[in-house]
């Protein structure tokens, strides 16, 4: 049996993109991933499909497994010859009990490595616009536990030195003990008027910032019902937030947006929305799958020389066409002499990835635009191949036939209803937990409604944005009235329309 190994990996403070490159590499290699609640579960998407995932909890007052059990678990998995990642919120060695886990591994002779993470002690204040040091205001800072080991008869913190000897104080896990922390600091000389902040779920779209003072902090936290996880910061630098706030001032900050695209395509839209501060809920309602048979597409690939034009109506059509082209032992050279049209910029970009530059990209990214653009190019008798989805609008082949073309439509892929949890999604919509639903195709409309049992009553609490007029028409046909329709039928156009929608709603 090969020797196992354990990587103690810092997951960062909450924003899953703050994991380090080395941490990502370890996640992709791991046979087993042991994670706690402060690790954003989207990080688990880095895991191999066959990796074992073990959740161990570790909330401040509720433990799925005791620390001793976690230590033993790491040892046991490694001694099975497996590569283990212990994924920990923040940094493993900053109040993460990583030292205890490492000592257990060392004592058992298990190889291990420490992969540092971005600690919340610095990152959370930074996302709130609070630098822990600043010239003229703070030349020192301290990171202090706000949750000392239970059972201690006396505090291990030197409050007399800490209160007046350090400019910026950052308390982690200190919300539940905030009254005692504030009292200790004031009793040992810290001014009650010292600026302070409590930041909950820092670096995440749920981030909540309370600006207060040392004297008022405990009462205001109780009044607002702020719960862990949160960071408590004391120091003059807190006042800089009024000028330096950048994260929670983004145009879509605090908005929960449902992304209904297929899972493999959702990230582009989610990334764009999250960059503007949104919280994205990816619930794919469609799944892109191969056709029941590739026979028709393979026959078309085998006689490409017979066609004058190839028209691609989606990036999916491009991908599936080239998969079959490659399966036949061919590449883009097989299209030599044929002209190629792409329905829009994303489809044209996908073609470029296969070494082809589209001869025609219409100004209007839909079938009508392709027909209009081809009117001066397409001669009667020319043969046209359209590899597309199994179910699609018939307007394009019908109009091209009217222009005298011989049109062959072949199924390159199918869209089916994904296995998203419909009842759970319906409950969140009914509760008003989702601010906006996005639709990027007609199939996302019909398949979402199929998952929701055709219910559309959620419109009273949720807005709807569509990527273009065809998708908007599918909404209207199904009793959904869109609040925003992109003028540019691209992800960028959709994001722009969403921003405009919320900007107008805030006026």
- For residue 229, cis peptide bond before it (omega within 30 degrees of 0): yes
Burial label, 434 (beta-carbon count in 10 A; 0-12, 13-18, 19+): buried
Kindly give, in sequence order, each residue whose CB lies less than 8 Å from that of residue 366, ignoring residues fewer than 6 positions away.
343, 468, 469, 470, 489
State both tokens at 25. 């590499």
Q: Which of 15, 27, 31, 36 is catalytic?
A: 36
Looking at 295-414, list the stretches that DSSP marks H as alpha helix, in order from N- to C-terminal side: 295-302, 315-327, 345-353, 367-374, 395-402
* R_g of the chain computed on alpha carbons: 28
3-state secondary structure 426-447: HHHHHCCCCCEEEECCHHHHHH
Active site annotation includes 36: yes
Q: Which of 173, 204, 382, 435 is catalytic?
A: 173
Number of residues that this document lists for the chain? 507
Active site annotation includes 58: yes
Compute φ and ψ for 386, nearest 5 degrees: -125, 100
Q: Which of 5, 58, 339, 399 is catalytic?
A: 58
Strand order in the sheet with 83-88: 52-55, 32-35, 83-88, 5-10, 112-115
> Distance between CA 35 and CA 13 in Å, rounded?
14
SS3 256: strand
State both tokens at 393. 């609008």
Can you tell me which residue has the tokens 């309602």? 285
Catalytic residues: 36, 58, 173
């Amino acid at each position: 049996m090969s020797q196992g190994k354990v990587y103690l990996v810092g997951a960062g403070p909450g924003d899953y993109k703050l994991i380090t490159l080395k941490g990502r590499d370890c996640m992709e290699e791991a046979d087993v991933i042991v994670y706690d609640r402060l690790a954003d579960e989207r990080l688990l998407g880095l895991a191999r499909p066959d990796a074992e995932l073990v959740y161990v909890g570790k909330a401040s007052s509720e433990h799925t497994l005791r620390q001793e059990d976690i230590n033993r678990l790491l040892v046991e998995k490694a001694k099975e010859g497996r590569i283990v990642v212990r994924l920990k919120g923040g940094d493993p060695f900053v109040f993460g009990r990583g030292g205890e886990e490492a000592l257990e591994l060392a004592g058992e002779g298990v190889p291990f490595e420490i992969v540092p993470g971005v600690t919340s002690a610095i990152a959370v204040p930074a996302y709130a616009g609070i630098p822990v040091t600043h010239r003229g205001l703070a030349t020192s800072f301290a990171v202090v536990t706000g949750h000392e080991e239970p059972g201690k008869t006396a505090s291990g913190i030197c409050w007399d030195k800490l209160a007046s000897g350090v400019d910026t104080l950052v308390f982690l896990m200190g919300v539940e003990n905030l009254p005692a922390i504030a009292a200790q600091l004031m009793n040992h000389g810290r001014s009650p008027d010292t600026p302070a902040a409590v930041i909950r779920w820092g670096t995440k779209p749920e981030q909540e910032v309370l600006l207060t003072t040392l004297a008022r902090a405990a009462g205001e936290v109780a009044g607002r019902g702020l719960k862990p996880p949160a960071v408590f910061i004391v120091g003059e630098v807190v006042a800089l937030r009024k000028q330096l706030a950048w994260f929670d001032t983004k145009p879509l900050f605090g908005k929960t947006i449902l992304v209904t695209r297929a899972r493999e395509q959702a990230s582009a839209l989610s990334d764009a929305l999250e960059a503007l501060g949104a919280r994205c809920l990816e619930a794919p309602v469609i799944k892109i799958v191969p056709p029941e048979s590739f026979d028709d597409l393979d026959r078309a690939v085998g006689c490409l020389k017979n066609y004058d034009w190839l028209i691609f109506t989606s990036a999916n059509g491009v991908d599936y066409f080239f998969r079959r082209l490659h399966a036949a032992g061919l590449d883009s050279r097989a299209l030599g002499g044929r002209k190629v049209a792409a329905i829009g910029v994303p489809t044209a970009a996908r073609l470029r990835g296969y070494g082809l530059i589209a001869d025609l990209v219409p100004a209007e990214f839909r079938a009508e635009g392709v027909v209009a653009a081809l009117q001066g190019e397409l001669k009667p008798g020319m043969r046209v191949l359209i590899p597309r989805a199994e179910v699609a609008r018939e307007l394009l082949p019908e109009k091209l036939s009217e222009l005298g073309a011989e049109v062959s439509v072949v199924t390159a892929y199918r869209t089916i209803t994904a296995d998203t949890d419909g009842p759970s999604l319906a409950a969140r919509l009914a509760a008003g937990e989702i601010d906006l639903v996005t639709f990027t195709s007609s199939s996302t409309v019909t398949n979402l409604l199929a998952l929701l049992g055709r219910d559309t009553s959620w419109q009273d609490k949720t807005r709807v944005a569509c990527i273009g007029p065809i998708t908007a028409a599918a909404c209207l046909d199904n009793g959904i009235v869109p609040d925003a329709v992109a003028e540019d039928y691209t992800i960028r156009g959709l994001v722009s329309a969403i921003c405009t929608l919320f900007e107008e709603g805030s006026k």
